[in-house]
Structures are given as C-alpha cells and as structure tokens.
Amino acid sequence: LPDELDAEVDRILQDGNFTCNFELYQLRSRDLHTLNPTSWLNDSVIDAYLSLISSTTPPDITIVHTFVYAAIWSARSSGRRMRENDYPNLMKSRLILMPINIGNTHWIAGAINLTTATLTLYDS
C-alpha cells in the first residue's frame, strides 16, 4: 500500500471499534490483531478466510469451518457415530478440507480424501 493508505489502515486498526462484515462473519479489530506475527490466530479470522476461498472451490471439495472437527471429535469421544444428516455435504465430497486446533495452542490443516480413505495433515 502507499504510505498514506498504510497509515490509514494502522489508524483504523488502532481504533478498538473497527468492525468488518464479511458474508456471515464479523471481524473486529481484536480479530484482525491476531494476524500479527506474535499473536495467537483465532477461529473468526480462519472461518472468514475459509468462507472466502470456499466460494471458488469445486463442488466435489468441501471446506468445513473451525467448529466441525471439534463437533466430530466430541461425538466420537462420547461414543456417538457421526450420522450422514449431521453434515450432509461431507459424504458427497471427494475431498474435505478442515482446520484442526491442537490443544488450543496450534492450528493445522487436515485433508480427508474420501476416494482413497486417507487423512493428510499439514503442519507448518
């Protein structure tokens, strides 16, 4: 950005009342501050970004949001099997991409290939 626009962005972000509405998501100043290199990235920013990229994703690829992995894991941990009507689009997909939070301290990406029945984890 040109210097004057960069300064304007900095000024807006310093204002604690900044809000950005993006599709179904609302990002506040505190959410955007999690993009700083020394901050913990939060699920609001991840979900907004996933919503952005899912608009260009082929129909046989499903991108799920941050809460889905936790819901699947919770159901499995309690002995309940996931039913197809819990997440109907998942079983129609060739590939499912999902963010996974490890111990509330680290995000990784998971890719479930339903054609080959494989799970690949991507970790920085």
Predicted TM-score (pTM) above 0.75: no
**DSSP notation for 4-25:** HHHHHHHHHHHSTT-EEEETTE
Spatial contact of 44 and 25, defined as CB atoms under 8 Å apart: yes
Spatial contact of 72 and 82, defined as CB atoms under 8 Å apart: yes
At 118, which amino acid appears?
A: T
Per-residue pLDDT of the chain (124 residues), as tens digits, is: 788 888 887 787 777 778 888 777 888 888 888 887 888 888 888 988 888 888 889 989 999 888 877 777 777 777 777 666 666 667 788 999 999 988 888 899 999 998 999 999 999 8
Rounded-to-10 torsion of CA 77, 83, 88, 94: 70
**Residue 79 is encoded by which pair of tokens?**
């002995």
